[in-house]
Structure 1
C-alpha cells in the first residue's frame, strides 16, 4: 500500500512541477517582453528573481522524479545514490526549495485580488496555488518516507523497499563493494 501512495504522490508532484514550470515561464516571458503602454513597471522589461527560482526547482523536480522512478522500477541496489538516504535528502531539498519559492512569491503577490480582471494577475494567483500545492505534496512525501525509513530501520537500504531484512547483508552496500 505504501508503494502505491508513494507512486501516486510522486506522479502528482511531477505534474505540479510541469504546471509550475509552464506558469513561471509564461510570467518570465511576459515580464521580459512588456508591450508598449503596459502599466506594469512603466512598460520597461524586467524579471522577478523568484520566478527564476520557481523555474529552477520545477526543472529539478521534473528531472529528479523520473530518475527516482527508474531506480525503484529497475530495483537498483548497491550504491549510495540508490538508497533511502538519497531519497530523503532529495525530497528535503525539493521541499525546502518549493517552500522558499512559495513563501517569497506569497510575500510579493499575496493579495492581488484587486486586479483579477487581468489575465496576468490570474496567472500569478494560479502560480501561487500550484507552488503551495507542490510544497504540500513534497512535505507529504517527505513525511511518508521518513516514517517508512524510521519504522523499518531502512536508512542505507535500497529505496525500492523490496528487500528481506533477515537476509540483508550490509557489507554488500559498503562503498568499496559494488553490486550492479
Structure 2
C-alpha cells in the first residue's frame, strides 16, 4: 500500500510540473500570436488609409476626395499599442525579468484596456461594413474583410489571455506575482511527502511574508531543483531494492512452511 501511495505521489508531482510547463509555454505563444495579429492588422489598416488618403479617379467614395475613417484609425491605434506590449510580455516571460511592468496586476490592467480598444474597433468596423461579399472582386473590399477578420481574431486572443491571467491571479491571491510564475498549476501531494520533504526546502527558499505568500508561492527555480532532489532521495531511501524484497518474501514463505 505504501509503495502505491509513493508512486501516486511521484506521478502527481510529475504531472503537475509538466502541466505548469505547458501553461507557461501557452502563455508565451499566446503573446507571440497576438503580436503577429497586431502586425497583420497594421498592414491592412495602413493599406486602407493609403487608399482613402490618396487622390482617386473614381468618385465612389467621398466623390474622389481624400479622407480617412475614424474606425480604421482606431484599429491602427490598437495595433500600435498591442505590438510593443506583446513584445514586452514575451521578453519578460523568456528572460524571467522581475519588474513592476512584469507583474500580473500590470498585465491584467493593460489587457483590460486593450480589450476595450479592440472590441470597440472591431465592433465599429463590423457595423459599418457588415457584409462585403457583394464586392469581393475589388481589392479595397478584400482589404476591409481581412482587416475586420484580424481585428476579431486579435480580440479573441486578448480575451483568452485576460481571462486566464485573471483566473490564475485570483487563484494565487497575489497580484504582485511575476508573469512568469503566474500561470502555475497548483501542486498537490500527500501529507507525508509535504511535511517530511518539502518543509525544509520551503523555509529556505520561500518568499518572505505570511499567509499564502509563505506557504505557496516561490520566486526562484532553486526551490524547484531542491524539491525534486529531496523527492528523489526520499523515494529511494524509503523504497527497498528488488533483491531485498525477494529475500524477505523467501524468508516469509519459509517461516510459513
Alignment-derived partner of residue 54 in structure 2 = 33
Alignment-derived partner of residue 10 in structure 2 = none
Alignment-derived partner of residue 106 in structure 2 = 86
Q: CA offset at residue 8 of structure 1?
A: 1.4
Taking the TM superposition and a 5 Å limit, the aligned residue runs for 1:122-137 are 122-137=142-157
Q: CA offset at residue 83 of structure 1?
A: 1.0
Q: CA offset at residue 170 of structure 1?
A: 5.3
Alignment-derived partner of residue 158 in structure 1 = 178
Whole-Å Cα distance in 2 between the matches of residues 170 and 94 of structure 1?
33
Taking the TM superposition and a 5 Å limit, the aligned residue runs for 1:1-180 are 1-77=22-98, 79-161=99-181, 167-169=206-208
Whole-Å Cα distance in 2 between the matches of residues 23 and 84 of structure 1?
32
- Segments of 4+ moved more than 3 angstroms: none
TM-score relative to the length of structure 2: 0.62
Whole-Å Cα distance in 2 between the matches of residues 101 and 32 of structure 1?
20
| More moved, 150-159 vs 25-34 | 150-159
Aligned alpha-carbon RMSD (Å) = 2.1
Alignment-derived partner of residue 174 in structure 1 = none
| More moved, 15-24 vs 147-156 | 147-156
Whole-Å Cα distance in 2 between the matches of residues 64 and 170 of structure 1?
31
Whole-Å Cα distance in 2 between the matches of residues 37 and 90 of structure 1?
42
TM-score relative to the length of structure 1: 0.87
Q: Which runs of 5+ in 1 are unaligned?
A: 172-180
Total equivalences in the alignment: 170
Whole-Å Cα distance in 1 between the matches of residues 69 and 77 of structure 2?
13
Q: Which runs of 5+ in 2 are unaligned?
A: 1-21, 185-201, 211-257
Q: Which has the higher helix share?
A: 2
Q: CA offset at residue 54 of structure 1?
A: 0.7
